[in-house]
Every structure is written in structure tokens, then in C-alpha cells.
């Protein structure tokens, strides 16, 4: 299966141009500090919770680092997969065990 | 998705791609997203997704959306029922709200593990971000 790159610039008949080239990394030091603080608080509270696990979606990792834990579970269902409620999960391509997860928020226009 | 990325990283198990709907450009965006989720219910999300992008210029009228369903070999009656009843609109809405809650305000927005890429990017940017994320995931 080929997952075609959608290139809005095709409309302009040009090659790929960065709409916004600002790749940025999160402030990892701050993120690490937040995670350590959260873990420490968890241990102190006696909950004994571990880490979120590697199957957590990338955007969920982001969200947990910036807006606190959302409690949303990672859904690794593929295009034909289903959630417990019988509805399709998020469309995915690739292995559920992949070390890198690319989550794309997009629309069709 | 750039076929090279798929071949380089998805096929060898390094990368998983997850789609989230963020239809913020009007009703046709929403309609297309709901239609794609209806195709997903029949196991043909990506085929339908590709067809939507291939036909951006034609627009996403109901007639067009149903014709695309035919093209990818869907059960068109079931597709029509699901689409017209907006059966999967809640999934689209949930994605949209989730995106808003984590700061997405335009498309495309990509999260590659802990990196964020906003807007279209050259292939090399993705390759670099994926390689970085892979190294980090491996403890490097």
C-alpha cells in the first residue's frame, strides 16, 4: 500500500515548499523535569505507577509533557481495527511496536 | 506520505504512522473526513484517503464522495448509510478536539515522538526527525 504524501503545493504546480519551516523540539530539559516531578509525586503518593510505555502515541507523549496526563489510551488499531466500542480506531500504517510514531493531524483540503 | 519514507521506515518496522482528523477548513473538510472514516469501517481508509487527495480539486460533494467509494471497491450502500447518518462523525470530532487540546491549530501538523513539525516539510526534515527519534528510543 502506498500512502501518498499530500502536497498542498501541487495546487500551485510547484515542488514542495515548506509552509512553515519551524521544526522545533520541545524544551527537553523542562520536559524531563516535569516528568521527573510527576514521577516523584506519584511515588510519594504511593501509587507506584510506572512509565507510560513505548506504545504511547507521539502526540500523547507531547500532551503529557505539556498539558499533564490526559488519560487517553493509545489506540493501536489499524485501518480495519476496532475499539472496544466496536468503532474503528485511528487509521494507522506500520507496526504497533515501532519505536517511532508519526502522528499526523490533517484535513483533506 | 512520501513513498520513500514508507519504504525506508514503515516497511522495516521503524515507523508507525497514525492519522488524526483535523478538519478545520469548513464543511467539506468535515464531510471528507467522515467519508474516509466510513471507508475505514470497510477496511479501505488509506485507499480512500489517497483518492481524496488525488481529487482535491474536484471537491467533496456527496456525489463525489460516493463515486470515490465506488472507485475503491466499497460496498456503496453501506458506505452511503454510514456517511449519510454521520455514523463516524464522533470520531472525527474527537480527533479535532484532541488536536485543539494539545495545541494543533493548522494542518498538517506532525508529531514524531517528542518532536513537532508544523506545515509541509522537505523529506530530509522528516528523515532527520525520524532518525533522531529512533536513536532516542534506542537509548542513544
pLDDT in tens, A56-90: 567 656 654 443 333 333 333 444 445 555 667 89
pLDDT band at A25 (very low <50, low <70, confident <90, very high): very low
ipTM of the predicted structure? 0.95
Task: Inform me whether the pLDDT recorded for A91 exceeds 60.
Answer: yes
The answer to whether A100 and B104 are in contact (CB under 8 A) is: no
Neighbours of A2 (CB within 10 A): 12
CB within 8 Å: B133 and A99: yes
Mean pLDDT (whole number) for A93-107? 96
pLDDT tens for residues B79-135? Answer: 999 999 999 999 999 999 999 999 999 999 999 998 999 999 999 999 999 999 999
User: For a pLDDT cut of 90, what percent of chain A falls above it?
Assistant: 17
* Chain A to chain B Cβ contacts (< 8 Å): 235
Cα–Cα distance, A66 to A84 (Å, whole number) = 28
Can you spell out the DSSP letters for B76-133?
A: HHHHHHHHHTTTTHHHHHHHHHHHHHTT--SSSEEEETTEEEES---HHHHHHHHHHH
Q: Which chain A positions have a beta carbon within 8 Å of B101's beta carbon?
A: 63, 67, 70
Residues 27-86 of A with CB under 8 A from B: 28, 31, 54, 57-59, 61-63, 65-67, 70, 72, 76, 79-80
Task: Inform me whether the pLDDT recorded for A13 exceeds 70.
Answer: no
Can you spell out the DSSP letters for A8-47?
A: GGGGGT-----S----EE--HHHHHHHHHHHHHHHHHTT-
Cα–Cα distance, B17 to A23 (Å, whole number) = 18
CB-nearest to A107 from B3, B45, B107 is B107
The number of CA neighbours under 13 Å toward the Cβ of B59 is 6
Any B CB within 8 A of A93 CB: yes
Average pLDDT, chain A: 53
At A71, list the grid cell: 488519560
CB-nearest to B60 from A16, A61, A108 is A108
Question: What is the nearest CA distance from B70 to chain A, expressed in angstroms?
Answer: 18
CB-nearest to A103 from B49, B110, B118 is B110
Cα–Cα distance, B38 to B80 (Å, whole number) = 9
* Per-residue model confidence (pLDDT) at position A19: 30
pLDDT tens for residues B33-56? Answer: 999 999 999 999 999 999 999 999
Task: Inform me whether the pLDDT recorded for A24 exceeds 80.
Answer: no
Amino acid at each position: 500500500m502506498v500512502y501518498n504524501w499530500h502536497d498542498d503545493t501541487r495546487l500551485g504546480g510547484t515542488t514542495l515548499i515548506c509552509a512553515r519551516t519551524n521544526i522545533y523540539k520541545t524544551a527537553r530539559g523542562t520536559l524531563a523535569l516535569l516528568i521527573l516531578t510527576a514521577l516523584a509525586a506519584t511515588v510519594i503518593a504511593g501509587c507506584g505507577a510506572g512509565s507510560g510505555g513505548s506504545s504511547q502515541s507521539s502526540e500523547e507523549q507531547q500532551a503529557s509533557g505539556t498539558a499533564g496526563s490526559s488519560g487517553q489510551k493509545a489506540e493501536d488499531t489499524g485501518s480495519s481495527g476496532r475499539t472496544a466500542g466496536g468503532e474503528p480506531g485511528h487509521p494507522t500504517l506500520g507496526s504497533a511496536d515501532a519505536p517511532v510514531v508519526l502522528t499526523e493531524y490533517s484535513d483533506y483540503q | 506520505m512520501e513513498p520513500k519514507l514508507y519504504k525506508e521506515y514503515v516497511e522495516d518496522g521503524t515507523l508507525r504512522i497514525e492519522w488524526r482528523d483535523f478538519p478545520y477548513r469548513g464543511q467539506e473538510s468535515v464531510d471528507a473526513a467522515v467519508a474516509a472514516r466510513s471507508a475505514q469501517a470497510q477496511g479501505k481508509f488509506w485507499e480512500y484517503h489517497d483518492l481524496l487527495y488525488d481529487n482535491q480539486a474536484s471537491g467533496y460533494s456527496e456525489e463525489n464522495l460516493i463515486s470515490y467509494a465506488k472507485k475503491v471497491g466499497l460496498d456503496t450502500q453501506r458506505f452511503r448509510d454510514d456517511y449519510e447518518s454521520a455514523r463516524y462523525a464522533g470520531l472525527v470530532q474527537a480527533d479535532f478536539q484532541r488536536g485543539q487540546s494539545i495545541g494543533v491549530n493548522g494542518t498538517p501538523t506532525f508529531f514524531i515522538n517528542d518532536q513537532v513539525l508544523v506545515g509541509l516539510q522537505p523529506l530530509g526534515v522528516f528523515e532527520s526527525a525520524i532518525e533522531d527519534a529512533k536513536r532516542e528510543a534506542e537509548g542513544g
